[in-house]
Amino acid sequence: MILELLKLLAVGSSYTLTSLAEALDVSEALVEQMLTDLERGGYVSTADTSCAGQCAGCPSSGLCALLHGKRIWTVTAKGLQAAR
Amino acid sequence: MSQGRAGIRIALAGQPNVGKSTVFNMLTGLNQHVGNWPGKTVERREGHFEHHGEQVHIVDLPGAYCLTAASPEETVTRDFIIHEQPDVVMAVINAASLERNLYLVAELLALPTPVVLGLNMIDVAQQEGFEVEPRVLQAAIGIPVVPMIAAKGQGVHEFIDVALQVAREGAAEPHRPEIRADHRAVLEGLLTLVAPYVPSPYPADWVTLKLLEGDQEVTELMRDQLPPAVWERVNSVLLTHEDAIIAVASGRYDWIRRMTRAALKRPRAGRITRTQRIDAVATHPFLGLLVLAAVLAVIFGLTYSVGGPMQEWIQMHVVEGLAGWLGTALASGPDWLRGLLVDGVLGGVGTMLTFLPILAIFFASMALLEDVGYMARAAYVMDRFMHAIGLHGKSFMPLFLGFGCNVPAIMGARIIESRRARLITILLAPLVPCAARLAVLTVLAQVFFPDSAMLVTWLLTGLPLVVLAVLGVALNRLVIRGEQAAFIMEMPLYHLPNWRTIAILVWQRLLAFLHKAGTVILSVSVIVWALTVLPTGEIETSYMGIIGYWLEPLGRLMGLGWRPLVAILTSFVAKENAVATLGVLYNAGETASALAPALRAELSPAAGLAFLVTQMLFIPCVSTVAVIKQETGSWKWVFVNVGMLALLALLGGIVAFHVASWVL
């Protein structure tokens, strides 16, 4: 099942946890667990959506909240290779 | 198993928020003790009670999703079960999240301690449309499963009955997950190698599995235990089968699927949540873009219809009033002081501050969209759109961060392995209109186009994205070819706005803005003013006038005088300075008067549009440039980026001026 997920991600598109859960016929929570496993193995990585202190004092820094606190995953080269 | 010990020892395990503590509290009552696990900041709760005349000692293990030792909670849980060897593990699982909860069970079953399952929250599961069959689950896993509603005290008694029975009498072998078939031989070979050296009390098969999973703690343990020659062989196997982590995990997920196939019925397809209903439109590849365009139009419309009159009121009654009062109060004072305060400070910072209502509404709209859960969808549909037009790859995620601020966008490019693709992403990132650039556009569109500010803002927000897409598609074909990668974004549930949260967010952003107005914008305003009066006191012969003289030929190409060009140049320090500098330059030598009429009197609509286009495409602020240097490690790429964007801005301004002159 986790390999199915990796193969799905290797196609290269945008997904939500919901759309992946539907595609794999499992719960979103389980997809999240699979992503955790894949991240542990270096097959996917999570993006740092924070300003990392770079925009301290910027009046617009709060607007980075566009993606703050949301987790975003992407496939690594190792992940793509494993999927193939 | 409990023979020779005083009473039965139980470990209570489970993932966070499954009702484990409720069970613990019900069983122990006041007979519990809370401390910390040795060397950890994780809370240790243990207690004792008597059940049917039998003394029971119970330890409430911290909530853990799995046993990978990735967190202190996971380490504590697995170390306790391995080293303390309780008689039984009572695993509490949430029936409404059965699949994920079974992941921990899959890991617990790999350890020798018998496990009994408390299937908690079956009422919640039913409310959410799940049907769970405890008996079917029990038959599938081969261990006792007790349905419970711990919050109501239902099933807890039966749960402890079953646990004590298993502790006394032992349990049948459960159906454990197995590593994927193609790696079984590897597992067995490795087990043969390491088994003689696995120290007590670690189970050899568990240690072997963890080695294949790349568990750092177990790997270090075995590296110390194994003779060098054996370790070399083991390490060689591990390096050859680096992908075994997938095989181990696959085994667990396949096991979960088998266990739940008959025991779990998910909500019917017709039962969809409100979030799913809204997302069917909001994240639809085409409809989602229309929704986003409409949302932006509403935001800009609201900003101008409400903020515009407020801005005029502040200009008329506050800034001009203050300028008049200062002029009178300083009438007998030195000219330079009056000029500094009226033309420099009020002309720059004062002008910027009149736009506070517009910014407040803009910030509030963004905070509202964020709070109700829409912002992530906005990014998601844009991502899909960009995929659709062919610009895809890992560059997209960092680019999206740029909508907030270009700095994290550029830093986010670190996720791209290919140096060439990373470089392209960094060079393109400043074309994503950051919040500061959008705020300046929002303010100045109102100044140049009071009757059609909403439409102009809406169109110009898209302009840099179109340029980015065109450049990106070309570069994608030529440079980032083949680097396609998926993104998975977490979408929060939609919910009603929390006005307090939104108010706090807007307040914080306005405070930060005021801080910037009092520091960077004030400094630049004073410097710009000084350059307009030094050394002669006349703007035409001032240092700024000399700079303007050199810039004038460029400005003529776009229908602009030198003042707007200087304003754009000062936006390099901070984007907001474009407005403040216009304020200083158009009020220099006079009392502070409204900026908008002065600008509209000098610049034609075509020139105004050219100014806005140039501003949207111009080089990013100094912080972004510094990060470009930091991330590329080269001044060459900084100059390439600055040169490319300056050229794009100039060309964009020229084209906008000539096309607009022809059309308008």
Residue B38 confidence (pLDDT) above 80: no
Using an 8 Å CB-CB cutoff, list chain B residues near A17: 488, 490-491
Residues B118 and B236 in one domain: no
Q: Is residue B275 part of a domain?
A: no
Residues B331 and B195 in one domain: no
> Where does a domain end: B143, B169, B195?
B169
Q: Percentage of chain B surpassing pLDDT 90?
A: 20
Residues B317 and B349 in one domain: yes
- Shortest distance between the Cα of A34 and any Cα of chain B, in A, equals 8
Q: Is B387 on the interface with A (CB under 8 A)?
A: yes
Specify the pLDDT at position B109. 93
User: By CA distance, what is A5's nearest residue in B?
Assistant: B250
Give the burial string for B354-367 (b: 16+ CB within 10 Å, else e): bbbbbbbbbbbbbb
Residues B475 and B374 in one domain: yes
Domain span at B224: 181-265
Q: Highest mean pLDDT: which of B54-63, B123-132, B271-280, B422-431?
A: B54-63
Nearest CB to B486: which of A1, A15, A33?
Answer: A15
Using an 8 Å CB-CB cutoff, list chain B residues near A49: 401, 408, 412
Residue B376 confidence (pLDDT) above 90: no
What lies within 8 Å, CB to CB, of A52 at 6+ separation is B408, B411
Q: Is residue B85 part of a domain?
A: yes
Using a 10 angstrom Cβ sphere, with 0-12 exposed, 13-18 middle and 19 or more buried, the burial of residue B16 is: exposed
Q: Is A81 on the interface with B (CB under 8 A)?
A: no
Q: Is residue B401 part of a domain?
A: yes
Q: Is residue B33 part of a domain?
A: yes
Judged by CB atoms closer than 8 Å, whether chains meet at A30 and B487 is answered as no
Q: Which CA distances in Å does B243 have to A3, A79, B189, B488?
A: 11, 10, 16, 22
Q: Is B372 on the interface with A (CB under 8 A)?
A: no
Sketch out chain A's domains with CATH numbers. 2-49+58-83 (1.10.10.10)
The ipTM value here is 0.81
CA pair distance B263, B259, nearest whole angstrom: 7
CA pair distance B26, B56, nearest whole angstrom: 13
Report the residue of A19, A58, A61 to disrupt the B interface, i.e. the one with the largest count of B CBs within 10 Å: A58
Residue B108 confidence (pLDDT) above 90: yes
Using a 10 angstrom Cβ sphere, with 0-12 exposed, 13-18 middle and 19 or more buried, the burial of residue B41 is: exposed
Nearest CB to B68: which of A12, A40, A82?
Answer: A40
Tokens of B550: 């050199």
CA pair distance B504, B417, nearest whole angstrom: 39
Q: Is B384 on the interface with A (CB under 8 A)?
A: yes
Judged by CB atoms closer than 8 Å, whether chains meet at A59 and B627 is answered as no
Judged by CB atoms closer than 8 Å, whether chains meet at A12 and B392 is answered as yes
Q: Is residue B280 part of a domain?
A: no
Report the residue of B488, B493, B508, B515 to disrupt the A interface, i.e. the one with the largest count of A CBs within 10 Å: B488
Residues B510 and B550 in one domain: yes
Q: How many domains does chain B have?
A: 3
Top-confidence residue, A20 or B30: A20
> Where does a domain end: B139, B169, B199?
B169
Residues B232 and B332 in one domain: no
Q: What is the mean pLDDT of residues B411-433?
A: 76
Q: Is residue B102 part of a domain?
A: yes
pLDDT 10s digits, B390-420: 555 556 656 666 766 677 678 767 666 667 7
Report the residue of B271, B489, B520 to disrupt the A interface, i.e. the one with the largest count of A CBs within 10 Å: B489
Nearest to B229 by CA among B194, B183, B205, B272: B194
Low-confidence winner among A32-36, B269-273, B338-342, B355-359 (lowest mean pLDDT): B269-273
Judged by CB atoms closer than 8 Å, whether chains meet at A74 and B398 is answered as no
Q: What is the mean pLDDT of residues B269-287?
A: 76
Residue B248: give its domain's CATH number.
1.10.287.1770
Nearest CB to A59: which of B254, B378, B512?
Answer: B512
pLDDT tier at B4, thresholds 50, 70, 90: very low
**Which residues 6-65 of A have a C-beta within 8 angstroms of B?**
6, 8-18, 20, 26-27, 29-30, 32-38, 40-41, 43-45, 47-52, 54-55, 57-65
What lies within 8 Å, CB to CB, of B612 at 6+ separation is B441, B444, B445, B448, B456, B460, B656
Residues B384 and B419 in one domain: yes
CA pair distance B211, B193, nearest whole angstrom: 12
pLDDT 10s digits, B254-275: 999 888 887 888 765 555 567 7
Report the residue of A4, A8, A24, A60 to disrupt the B interface, i.e. the one with the largest count of B CBs within 10 Å: A60
Residues B147 and B197 in one domain: no
Tokens of B11: 């470990």
Phi, psi of B622 (to 5 degrees): -60, -35
Q: CA triplet B259, B265, B270: central angle to 5 degrees?
A: 150
Residue B387 · residue B393 · CB < 8 Å: no
Judged by CB atoms closer than 8 Å, whether chains meet at A6 and B246 is answered as yes
pLDDT tier at A45, thresholds 50, 70, 90: confident
pLDDT 10s digits, B595-654: 788 888 888 999 999 999 999 999 888 778 888 888 888 888 899 889 999 999 999 999
Q: Percentage of chain B surpassing pLDDT 70?
A: 90
**Which residues 40-59 of B have a C-beta within 8 angstroms of A?**
none
> Where does a domain end: B135, B169, B203?
B169
Instruction: Considering only CA atoms, give the Rg of chain A.
Output: 15
Low-confidence winner among B424-428, B592-596, B642-646 (lowest mean pLDDT): B592-596
Specify the pLDDT at position B592. 42
Using an 8 Å CB-CB cutoff, list chain B residues near A47: 397-398, 401, 412, 415
Q: Which CA distances in Å does B611 have to B352, B372, B579?
A: 18, 35, 12
Top-confidence residue, B248 or A79: B248
Nearest to A63 by CA among B369, B568, B425: B369
Residues B545 and B618 in one domain: yes
Top-confidence residue, B316 or B152: B152
Q: What is the mean pLDDT of chain B?
A: 82
CA pair distance B526, B584, nearest whole angstrom: 9
User: By CA distance, what is B267's nearest residue in A?
Assistant: A27
Q: What is the mean pLDDT of residues B61-78?
A: 86
Judged by CB atoms closer than 8 Å, whether chains meet at B245 and A18 is answered as no
Using an 8 Å CB-CB cutoff, list chain B residues near A68: 404
Residue B40: give its domain's CATH number.
3.40.50.300
Residues B165 and B211 in one domain: no
Q: How many residues does chain A have?
A: 84
Q: Is residue B491 part of a domain?
A: no
- Shortest distance between the Cα of A83 and any Cα of chain B, in A, equals 11
Judged by CB atoms closer than 8 Å, whether chains meet at A62 and B243 is answered as no
pLDDT 10s digits, B168-221: 888 788 999 999 888 899 989 999 988 899 998 999 999 999 999 888 889 999
What lies within 8 Å, CB to CB, of B197 at 6+ separation is B222, B225, B226, B227, B230
CA pair distance B30, B33, nearest whole angstrom: 9
Residue B5 confidence (pLDDT) above 70: no
Residues B384 and B304 in one domain: yes
Q: How many CA atoms lie within 13 A of B93 on its CB side?
A: 29
**Which residues 412-431 of B have a C-beta within 8 angstroms of A?**
412, 415, 417
Residue B443 confidence (pLDDT) above 90: no
Residues B465 and B509 in one domain: yes
User: By CA distance, what is B388's nearest residue in A?
Assistant: A13
- Shortest distance between the Cα of B98 and any Cα of chain A, in A, equals 9
Phi, psi of B430 (to 5 degrees): -65, -10
Top-confidence residue, B523 or B162: B162
Q: Is B216 on the interface with A (CB under 8 A)?
A: no
Low-confidence winner among B112-126, B344-358, B427-441, B482-496 (lowest mean pLDDT): B482-496
Nearest to B612 by CA among B447, B469, B428, B436: B447
User: By CA distance, what is B434's nearest residue in A?
Assistant: A60
Q: Is residue B497 part of a domain?
A: no
